[in-house]
Amino acid sequence: MPLIDDTDNAIIFDALGDAVTIVFDDGSDEGLTVSGIFVEPFESVGSYDGQVETTLPSLRVAAADVADLSIEHDLQVSVSGVGYKVVAIQPDNEGWVALNLREV
């Protein structure tokens, strides 16, 4: 049983203020609409001749909302008009899943 239930998730989405609604293109006619929190942290990695800079976009969603999804579905996500492909699905075992994204 997760430590965070649906009521807790709703409170978290409201408190953070960055909840977005996305549609997964999972091959069905309608897709799947869920609420999530989009994050895109900046990463800078040093190398021997300079810095490599990138962002790591992901969407945090309630695990119950995406329980039946798998990476084999070629999932496409649109967040604020920008298209992304889901490249990894990472549950945290506490009621949340990080959908790691790559811009398409």
Residue 48, domain CATH: 2.40.10
Q: Is the pLDDT of residue 17 over 50?
A: no
- Output the pLDDT for position 30: 67
Structural domain range at position 33: 6-103
Q: How far apart are CA 75 and CA 25, in angstroms?
A: 5
Domain assignment of residue 1, yes or no: no
- Output the pLDDT for position 23: 67
Domain assignment of residue 10, yes or no: yes
Over its C-alpha atoms, the chain yields an Rg (Å, rounded) of: 15
The pLDDT tens digits of the residues spanning 29-73 come to 667 778 788 888 887 777 667 778 888 899 988 888 888 787 776
**Percent of the chain residues topping a pLDDT of 70:** 71
Domain assignment of residue 83, yes or no: yes
Number of domains comprising the chain: 1
Domain assignment of residue 89, yes or no: yes
Q: Which pTM value belongs to this model?
A: 0.73
